[in-house]
Amino acid sequence: MEFNSEEEFLKAYDSSKFEKLSMTADILIFSVSDEVSNNYRKLNKKHFSVLLVKRDNYPFKDKWCLPGGFVGIDEEIEDAAKRILKKEANIKDIYIEQLYTFGNPKRDPRMRIVSVSYMALIDKNKLSDKISKNASWFNVSMLEDEKEIFINLDNGEETIKFKIKKILKEKTTDRYKYEIIENDKLAFDHPIVIVSGIERLKNKIEYTDIVFNMMPEYFTLGELQMVYEVILGKKLLDPAFRRIIANKVEKTDKMQTGGGHRPSYLFKYRKK
Amino acid sequence: MEFNSEEEFLKAYDSSKFEKLSMTADILIFSVSDEVSNNYRKLNKKHFSVLLVKRDNYPFKDKWCLPGGFVGIDEEIEDAAKRILKKEANIKDIYIEQLYTFGNPKRDPRMRIVSVSYMALIDKNKLSDKISKNASWFNVSMLEDEKEIFINLDNGEETIKFKIKKILKEKTTDRYKYEIIENDKLAFDHPIVIVSGIERLKNKIEYTDIVFNMMPEYFTLGELQMVYEVILGKKLLDPAFRRIIANKVEKTDKMQTGGGHRPSYLFKYRKK
DNA sequence: TGAATAGTGTCTGTGAGACAATATTAT
DNA sequence: ATAATATTGTCTCACAGACACTATTCA
């Protein structure tokens, strides 16, 4: 068939001739939690944590998964992610970025569903407690060597463990392909989404100001350092750390007192 | 409806109750071209280049676009990208990575089509000349300030210019949102895909070995430096450059002679 | 007073930027 | 001989790692 104009072509266009697919947006919501200390001198330990939802429907009934849902036919994908964020965690206006698109034809047993994953960061103090009743924060701990990644998630009642194999891609690249080796409590390919998100965050914390999305307005440098340490999974030296973040923060005249030790100045984020 | 098992649920599942969408894979294929010098002493100038295809069908008939096509209902997205790579440029087994997923509901006038974009890199010497008849390599030049990006594409016969506005996203991040200001020769949202890819490549060239995917097996350090310079859009100092790439390359005993100047050793990539 | 954290000083080595100097080829 | 590129030497400065030291609070 020949057309004389774009308009004419569009009028005659029959979109039903192709097989179509469904799309979901899945969100990795990361935050940092305090574990209240029982020693008046000690600071609260920080934990890196992720929000998971227990499925009460098939498929993967009773397994945990990332907050997610179908993208509407006329909905911008990121808007779908934000809608889900509002629904599951009752939060809006937080940092969100697209992570990766997972499209394995077998990743969902129902039908072909492509998942666009997003990573969101939030300061837990800003959380209303109205997270959905099936949702729960899990503390993340991660062990990694050259070949495998072990992840342990814990929400105080339940522990989720899984193991991922890293496969170096054929072509020249630092990029890994991930493969699930062990997993029995997480739905879909979500173990891989979680690992991808953690890796992205670990990278970005070093060369961007992304971390301040997980901090309250005022914070001590000790707290900030603990957040870096818990995400990077390693101890940092105080003077080096302070040099690195020196031009990202602004000292205020507020102090944090009350611990059985020298009080600390409160700082806030200084945008460039 | 209540189900007693996943199997039972899946048997009863009716996927037609949701409105579905179509998906395409679009590929940014980057390479580096030589502009043959007419001075026997001078080295060939290098150009950073991208492969575009002229559309001979609606929509956007006669405009240029990235090689792309629909993702099959049972096809892995990356496999679709590779299939298109084979079809349009007759190449396979080259570096490819997922770039970003563009899903604006209005990005295609026909219907809702989500595009997963990929970036591929190739050494032009490996190119068979059997690229599809509508395809053409365009030399890229780019000018950037804090607010805008100007891109100029040239294939020797035709020039494509477009302008992109950078919008700093609301939340703490170094990520920009891009918006097309001027464009009349490129189809869809492809100006934004091109800019996103260039930015990704510029970043990755600094902290990965990705550049060697655009190099032949043997190359001189001068050539390698020129590729860096043409991608980064700035001159580098020789000694500094050599220090940086020293442990990524291996000196061979081959030499490159023939220029009216001191001959150069040929190097090859050394994997870590 | 002492446990615990806050904050600073400084030595050292690494590595990038800058510029200069030397080497080698084809015409 | 000369234009052009190839390659190395070296000075300086910025900065990260490492460790030591001082400051301050509250039970």
Reported confidence tier of residue A114, pLDDT bands at 50, 70, 90: very high
Query: Helix or strand or coil: residue A177?
Result: strand
Residues in chain B with pLDDT values less than 70: 1, 172-175
Whether residue B172 and residue A271 make contact (CB cut-off 8 A), yes or no, is yes
Q: Which residue has the tokens 């072909």?
A: A112
Sequence-distant (≥ 6) Cβ neighbours of residue B215 within 8 angstroms: B123, B223, B224, B227, B269
Phi, psi of A152 (to 5 degrees): -125, 125
Within this chain, domains A22-207 and A215-269 share the same CATH topology: no
Task: Tell me the pLDDT band of A21, cut-offs 50, 70 and 90.
Answer: very high
Over residues A180-227, the pLDDT tens digits come to: 999 999 999 999 999 999 999 999 999 999 999 999 999 999 999 999
User: Which ranges of A72-220 would DSSP assign to H, the alpha helix?
Assistant: 77-89, 190-207
Model pLDDT, residue A195: 97
CATH class belonging to B22-207: alpha beta
Every domain of chain A and the residues it spans: 22-207, 215-269
How far is Cα B142 from Cα B225, in angstroms, rounded to an integer? 18
User: What's residue A15's pLDDT?
Assistant: 75
* CA–CA dist A245, A257 (Å, integer): 22
Cross-chain residue pair A212–B75, CB shorter than 8 Å: no
pLDDT at A6 > cutoff 90: no
What type of residue sits at position A214? Answer: M
Closest CA to A51 of A27, A70, A84: A27
Task: With a cut of 90, say whether residue A116 has pLDDT above it.
Answer: yes
Report the alpha-carbon angle A197-A201-A205, nearest 5: 175
Per-residue confidence (pLDDT) for residue B119, from 0 to 100: 97
Cβ of A206 near strand D (under 7 Å)? The reply is no
Instruction: Assess whether pLDDT exceeds 90 at residue A241.
Output: yes
Mean pLDDT of chain A: 93
| Nearest nt (C1') from A221 Cα | C6
Q: Is the pLDDT of residue A1 over 80?
A: no
Q: What DSSP string describes B47-113?
A: EEEEEEEE--SSSSTT-EE-SEEEPPTTS-HHHHHHHHHHHHH---S-EEEEEEEE--TTSSSSS-E
pLDDT at B1: 66
Report how far apart, in Å, the C-alpha atoms of B230 and of each of A251, B139, B140, B143, B201 are: 42, 11, 9, 12, 12
pLDDT at A60 over 90: yes
Classify burial at A118, counting beta carbons within 10 Å of its beta carbon; exposed 0-12, middle 13-18, buried 19 or more. Answer: buried
Supply the pLDDT for residue A105.
96
- Report residue A272's pLDDT band, with 50, 70 and 90 as the boundaries: confident
Show residues, CB within 7 A, near nucleic chain C: A 39, 41-43, 220-223, 238-239, 242, 259-265; B 40, 237-240, 243-244, 257-263
What residues have CB less than 8 Å from A123, skipping those under 6 apart? Answer: A31, A213, A214, A215, A216
Find all residues with CB under 8 Å of A62, minimum gap 6, and list them: A54, A55, A56
B58/A6 Cβ within 8 A:
yes
Q: Name the residue closest to C8, CA to C1'.
A: A239
Chain A residues close to B13, C-beta within 8 Å: 110-111
- Report which of residues A52 and B125 the model is more confident about: A52
pLDDT in tens, A118-140: 999 999 888 877 788 899 999 99
Environment class of A242 (CB within 10 Å of its CB; exposed 0-12, middle 13-18, buried 19+)? middle
Q: Residues 198-227, chain A: which have Cβ within 8 Å of B?
A: 207-210, 212-213
First to last CA, chain A: 57
Provide the whole-model pTM.
Answer: 0.95
* pLDDT tens digits along B168-200: 877 766 568 999 999 999 999 999 999 999 999
Pick the CATH number of B215-269 from 1.10.3720.10, 3.10.200.10, 1.10.10.10, 3.40.309.10: 1.10.10.10
